[in-house]
Amino acid sequence: MTSQASIFREQIIKLSADYYRSRWPERPFVPGRDYVPVSGKVFDEEELGSLIDASLDFHLTAGRYTSEFEERFAGLMGRKYALLVNSGSSANLLAVAALTSPLLGKRRLLPGDEVITVAAGFPTTVNPLIQHGLVPVFVDVDIPTYNIDVTQLDAALSPRTKAIIVAHTLGNPFDLGFIQSFADRHGLWLIEDTCDAVGSLYEGQPAGSFGDLATVSFFPAHHLTMGEGGAVLTSNARLKKIVESLRDWGRDCWCTPGTDNTCGKRYDWTKGGLPPGYDHKYTYSHIGYNLKATDMQAAIGVAQLKKLEGFTAARKHNFEFLKAALKPAEEWLILPEATAGSEPSWFGFPVTVREGAPISRNELVRSLEEARIGTRLLFAGNLLKQPAYAGVVHRIAAPLTNTDRIMNDTFWLGVFPGLNTEMLSYTAQVILGLLEGKEESKE
């Protein structure tokens, strides 16, 4: 790069910081006027400058920022490898697809094999199973952790069971000790859907560091954002190679974009029915996709990584603040609890309306929205009641009693770092006021 270009780059990035401060100035929160969102991106001039720096390289696919992000993120998550992809949903797709690879021999998942999971969650945890002809076996969840009920695992097990895929619900780690022991005992693959749980710990170790594979999302709602983006994590070199191949068109070659002959024998391979010496860059060992992210996305992620510790602390603080503020409402609301042995970096604050409460879940969330307070349901509720899943081949290991209750009575509030104590106080005051007002009207 010429010295003049370097000077221009420096000036552009400096101007972007000035632009940030002008475009997004801080302003005080006004209750009832300003919306209290459940989630959102938290960024400043550093992310904007990093994005612009990457764009000035005009390296539109993976590049220097991608390599930096993958290396640093893998270390933070307690893994050897992190493979950046274009979304968390793609990460789940690749994790499941990897377990169907012929390279896994007898442990390869085949159509008709069963995978234990839950119906109370986000669709893209389960969708890849259906898309690969696998049979999801559903077990119920626990309230108030909202995680898989491990007492039902034995009922879910069959001779066709080959894997478990479960999400850490709203950042609360599931019982990793029990589930990993169960998976090891029965020779099952374990995929941790960690899309909502970056920064969470179980027994002092990062959520996402236990399973054979783990997945992460970098959508704006999540703990770190790139706008769109995700990652597959593993410490298994063979699984890393398979995921990388599936992500990159299914190719056998592992050269990074813009490089050639990493293996040193590009024209010396003999694969399948190809003629000897066929270019390794155009040799395909899997039926793959193109699910790569861009270096501009990775540049945002690199800046976000520096803030992860602060983001995690803010989520924990906001969760504890809300829990204390809503404690007077425990007569009517079930408040969330962390899984034993865990330290969640909460994605949201789940609440279940008790039987006999003076207001229904639907009435409560409508009233909160009218008060300019955002809420969300616990994703799909009961996935099997969703129209898209009618007729899907599946098995239910035990009655989904709590799953149905979540579908009818549960919602969640935001705790992300963009919320301050004024917003959380207002949220709690409105909820308490609605409950007390309804109770008084009944008397």
| pLDDT tens-digit series, residues 254-298 | 887 778 888 888 998 888 899 999 999 999 999 999 999 999 999
Could you tell me the pLDDT band of residue 107, with boundaries at 50, 70 and 90? very high
Neighbour count for residue 46 (Cβ, 10 Å): 17
The first and second tokens of residue 14, run together, are 């400096």
Averaged over 383-393, what is the pLDDT? 97
Contact (CB, 8 A) for 378 and 410: yes
- C-alpha to C-alpha distance for 396 and 140, rounded to whole angstroms: 9
Cβ atoms of residues 212 and 81 within 8 Å: no
Q: What is the model's pLDDT at position 438?
A: 67
Mean pLDDT, the chain, integer: 96
Among the listed residues 59, 132, 168, 222, the single catalytic one is: 222
**What is the predicted pLDDT for the residue at 254?**
82
Listing from the earlier edge strand, what are the strands of the sheet with 376-377? 333-334, 348-353, 410-414, 376-377
Mark whether 222 is an active-site residue: yes
Instruction: Report how far apart the first and last C-alpha atoms of the chain are (Å, whole number).
Output: 77
pLDDT band at residue 439 using 50, 70 and 90 as cut-offs:
low
Burial class (CB in 10 A: 0-12, 13-18, 19+), 226: buried
Percent of the chain's residues with pLDDT above 70: 98
Per-residue model confidence (pLDDT) at position 4: 92
pLDDT digits (tens, 9 = 90+) for 85-94: 999 999 999 9
The identity of residue 155, as a single letter, is A
pLDDT at residue 112 above 90?
A: yes
Tens digit of each residue's pLDDT (9 = 90 or more) over 359-369: 999 999 999 99
**Would the pLDDT of 443 be above 60?**
no
Tokens for 321, please give them: 């603040």
Number of Cβ within a 10 Å radius of residue 204: 8
Please say whether the beta carbons of 65 and 299 come within 8 A.
yes
Region 70-93: what's the mean pLDDT?
A: 98
301-334 per-position pLDDT tens digit? 999 999 999 999 999 999 999 999 999 999 999 9
pLDDT recorded at residue 442: 62
Confidence of residue 418 (pLDDT cuts 50, 70, 90): very high
Asked whether the bond before 144 is cis by omega within 30 degrees of 0, the reply is yes
For the segment 12-53, what is each residue's pLDDT rounded down to a tens digit? 999 999 999 999 999 999 999 999 999 999 999 999 999 999
- Structure confidence by residue, pLDDT tens digits, 341-352: 999 999 999 999
Please determine, for residue 54, whether its predicted confidence score (pLDDT) is greater than 60.
Answer: yes
Closest of 413, 42, 346, 418 to residue 224, by C-alpha: 42
Query: What type of residue sits at position 59?
Result: H
